[in-house]
Amino acid sequence: MHFAATDAQRSLTIGIDARAATEVVAGRGRVVRELLRALARRKDSHTYRLYARARWEEPLDERFRWELIGSGDALWNVRIAAAANRTCDVFLSSNSYLTVALLRVPSIVIVYDLVSFKRTLRASRRSAVIERFTLGPAVRRASALWCISQATSAALSERFPGATGKVAVVPLAASPALSAPVTSEPAELPPSGFVLAVGTLEPRKNLPRLAAAYASLPRALQDAHQLVVVGAPGWRMGPTVAALRSLGERCTMLGEVSDAALAELYRRCAVFCYPSLGEGFGLPVLEAMAAGAAVVTSSVSSLPEVGGDAVEYVAVIPGSSHDTPPRRESPGARTSTVTPRSVRALASDATCRSSPPIEGGKCEVTIAMRETECAPPTRADR
């Protein structure tokens, strides 16, 4: 993050919507927490006003001042906008488009994705309605729009042509906390060699397809390579939970875990699977790569930007309502279909290996995969 000071490096008062630091474990929450840590490492004379409902108990220096307001979302945005108009020189909106529409000071908006505008991805109903009504005004009012991937930037400019001149692509990075040496082994984690999936339990993560492919493996192979799922409860998760529970003891759902536990899971897994139907970035893919894990992920939206030619790509299941032509950013990437046989290859020690991470978080992955037919989506999936 860079703020250009004027008037001979004048110190600025910078407002930041910091709610997600305490209210969201993954995704936006991780972005805000890492942003605050990065700003704290900078040697500048700016003052940062952190607007939230609860204070994040992370050591920050005297430049950071928490402004806590305990209102519901709509009123919270109104009150924060009024406060920022009085005291801030610029405002960074990390979690809401509504705040920006009410600001008079220059503002920057982080745009994570446009999932809410694509009904087939089945976003949270509440979030979808709010974002559809507030993103347009925010685009018109904001001084700059930070998109976390080229795919998000392209989708935003396509839907809101007026955004084009304001957009900057600001990719995410894996947290240093996930690559730091382990000083003590997190307790009660599965032993090494499992298939790992990370993500909120919601339709877009496509976990029922992963569960179906995993279930087709020979039972001995499943017993040797348990499926481990990390993620908070989401919405419309009935089919997802049912699919995972159908695997019985072969699948472990850990829910939310600490950064230390997540880092260790990435290191222990035989393969990391992320068959998402659409992402704004796909941070777990980058995190797994940084840990040296072999990765298989979808060939849609931003995911080829993240994985480059270091991961194995799978196409969205043919015949599905989510079938989308893949965005291929890396000519060296390979594509096949998510199938039982591909997961069998991924789980096999003989056909799946990864090298240690090198500078830039890249890992070399060699995976034997074959393209085969897959059953059409069920009514529950649709």
Phi, psi of 167, deg, nearest 5: -85, 135
pLDDT above 80 (res 84): yes
Helix 238-245 crosses helix 207-215 at what angle (to 10 degrees)?
20
179: helix, strand or coil:
coil
pLDDT at site 280: 87
| Residues ≥6 apart with Cβ < 8 Å to 59 | none
Q: Which CATH architecture has domain 13-169?
A: 3-Layer(aba) Sandwich (3.40)
pLDDT at site 180: 66
pLDDT at site 283: 92
Quick one: pLDDT band at residue 175, thresholds 50, 70, 90? confident
Looking at per-residue confidence, does 361 or 86 come out higher? 86
pLDDT at site 47: 97
Looking at per-residue confidence, does 357 or 180 come out higher? 180
Strands 271-274 and 295-298: parallel
Lowest mean pLDDT among 109-118, 123-132, 220-229: 123-132
pLDDT at site 73: 84
Domains 13-169 and 182-367 share a fold: yes
pLDDT above 80 (res 230): yes
- What proportion of the chain, given as a percentage, has pLDDT over 90? 43
How many CA atoms, within 13 angstroms, populate the side-chain half-sphere of residue 308? Answer: 9
CATH class of 182-367: alpha beta
pLDDT above 70 (res 162): yes
pLDDT tens digit string along 318-327? 443 333 333 3
pLDDT at site 216: 83
Quick one: pLDDT band at residue 25, thresholds 50, 70, 90? confident
CB atoms within 10 A of CB 197: 27
Residue spans of alpha helices (H) in 88-149: 98-101, 125-141
Lowest mean pLDDT among 44-58, 83-97, 221-235: 221-235
Q: What is the b/e burial string over 169-181, where b = at least 16 CB atoms within 10 angstroms of the residue's CB?
A: ebebebbeebbee
Quick one: pLDDT band at residue 123, thresholds 50, 70, 90? low
| Helix, strand, coil distribution of the chain in percent, nearest 5 | 35, 20, 45
Contact 227, 251 (CB under 8 A): yes
Rounded to whole angstroms, the maximal C-alpha distance in the chain is 69
pLDDT at site 258: 83
The one-letter amino acid at 41: R
pLDDT at site 364: 24
Task: Tell the burial category of 268 from Cβ atoms under 10 Å away from its Cβ (0-12, 13-18, 19+).
Answer: middle
Element (H, E) at 223: helix 219-224
What does the domain layout of the chain look like in residue ranges?
13-169, 182-367
pLDDT at site 259: 84
Quick one: pLDDT band at residue 347, thresholds 50, 70, 90? very low
